[in-house]
Amino acid sequence: MSSFEFDRKKKADAQLNISPLIDIVFLLLVFFILSSHFATEKGFNLKLPKAVHATSQNTEKITIYIDQVNTVFIGDREIDLDLLDAELKKELAMNDEKMVVIKADEDVNIGFVVKVMDIARGANAEGLVISTRVLDDEKNK
């Protein structure tokens, strides 16, 4: 044997085993899927009326929603029309700003909206705002 064979170092077999990495990524994926929050917030499918001269209101404190079938909501709670006055008085007492925003579907009878507005005024609301969509042009139909 020559000294040449002894001087040569043995090469290490360098391979990257990605099986543990795939396992960890899979476990992280399962963890995030199982721990993510799947609660859906209650939403209202309202088609607000359009207005050309609408302005944004950033101070919405108490919001009354009226859907297509004249169901009234304060926030996300359904309120019977007979109990609306008492509920509004409680809500207005808890808020510094006595502003009430009404978001009614455009198909709701105007008489019903006026009735809700009258109840809000009777509950000592200092301001009433009727929410609309801004009508930019004909593409916002």
Structure tokens at 111: 């008489």
Is domain 50-140 given the CATH code 1.20.1250.20 in the classification? Answer: no
Please give the pLDDT value at position 33: 81
CA distances from 132 to 16, 47, 50 (A): 61, 9, 6
Of the listed ranges 31-35, 45-49, 63-67, the one predicted with least confidence: 45-49
Over residues 74-92, the pLDDT tens digits come to 888 898 989 999 998 888 8
CA distances from 120 to 74, 91, 95, 129, 134 (A): 12, 11, 14, 11, 24
Query: Is residue 66 within a helix (H) or strand (E), and if so which, with residue range?
Result: strand 62-66
Query: Is residue 100 within a helix (H) or strand (E), and if so which, with residue range?
Result: strand 99-104
Residue closest to 128 by CA, chosen among 111, 109, 141, 115: 115
Please give the pLDDT value at position 36: 72
Query: Is residue 130 within a helix (H) or strand (E), and if so which, with residue range?
Result: strand 127-130
pTM: 0.58
Query: Is residue 74 within a helix (H) or strand (E), and if so which, with residue range?
Result: strand 72-74
Please give the pLDDT value at position 24: 92
The mean of the pLDDT values for the chain is 78
Q: To 10 degrees, the CA torsion angle through 108, 114, 120, 122? A: -150
Q: Structural domain boundaries of the chain? A: 3-35, 50-140
Q: What is the mean pLDDT of residues 28-55?
A: 68
Confidence class for position 105, pLDDT limits 50, 70, 90: confident
Q: Distance between CA atoms of 116 and 66, rounded to whole angstroms?
A: 9
